[in-house]
Amino acid sequence: MSLHTESVVAIYPGSFDPLTNGHLDLIERGRRLVGKLVVSVLNNEAKHPLFNVEERMEMLREAVVGMDNVEIDGFDGLLAEYAARRGASVILRGIRAISDYEYELQMALMNRRLRPDIETMFLLAGEGNSFLSSRLVKEVARLGGNVSGLVPAAVERRLAARFSENKV
């Protein structure tokens, strides 16, 4: 791969339902390694996410204000094809614990088979975020627990609003 990183477009794909501080840390670190980082929200409405794609993209847009080489986008269908359409040569993913490895390995190898010209690049999650997941954040917030420090303040407010709506 070229070392002229300013011309590299990378895709950071995910569900981001919702964005956590772990994702944000990866965006901050990943964007320094490439020319442009496209954070891409999977349109997975069939899985009944807590927030729809537009809401998830809005939360991301609010969180990346001032990060000039970061763009927020949505996608559906095959990630490898979407990445190729966007002119990306890198897919960025984060790894927390060893338990993430198997799933990530399968995806990276399948994506490589589909598009051999696109490399998956892994960054290790910050050690303070290695227990953090959107799933646990939703569960804690739904049960009334404190998620401050785990997600951006704007996401915390949206979680509180969403779960208070669902109670009525």
Q: Tell me the catalytic residues.
A: 23, 47, 96, 134
Name the phi and psi angles at 95, rounded to 5: -120, 125
Dihedral over alpha carbons 36, 158, 76, 132 (to 10 degrees): 70
* Pick from 168, 10, 27, 156: nearest CA to 88: 10
Greatest CA separation for the chain: 55
In the bound state with ligand PNS, the residue whose beta carbon lies nearer, of 15 and 21, is 15
Tell how strand 36-42 and strand 9-14 pair up: parallel
Interface residues for ligand PNS in 23-42 (CB under 6 A)?
A: 42
> Is residue 67 within the footprint of ligand PNS (CB under 6 A)?
no
In the bound state with ligand PNS, the residue whose beta carbon lies nearer, of 4 and 130, is 130
Q: Pick from 8, 11, 15, 56 the residue near ligand PNS by CB under 6 A.
A: 15
Interface residues for ligand PNS in 75-104 (CB under 6 A)?
A: 78-79
| Position of minimal CB gap to ligand PNS | 14
* Pick from 95, 105, 81, 104: nearest CA to 30: 95
Give the containing element (helix H, strand E) for 93: strand 90-95
> Is residue 120 within the footprint of ligand PNS (CB under 6 A)?
no
Q: Pick from 9, 67, 107, 123 the residue near ligand PNS by CB under 6 A.
A: 107
In the bound state with ligand PNS, the residue whose beta carbon lies nearer, of 6 and 56, is 56
Q: How far apart are CA 22 and CA 26, in angstroms?
A: 6
Q: How far apart are CA 104 and CA 81, in angstroms?
A: 18
In the bound state with ligand PNS, the residue whose beta carbon lies nearer, of 135 and 157, is 135
Structure tokens at 112: 């490589």
> Is residue 49 within the footprint of ligand PNS (CB under 6 A)?
no
Interface segment toward ligand PNS; rule CB under 6 A; list 8-16, 56-64, 115-123, 147-155:
8-16
**Chain contacts with ligand PNS (rule: CB under 6 A):** 13-15, 42, 78-79, 107, 110-111
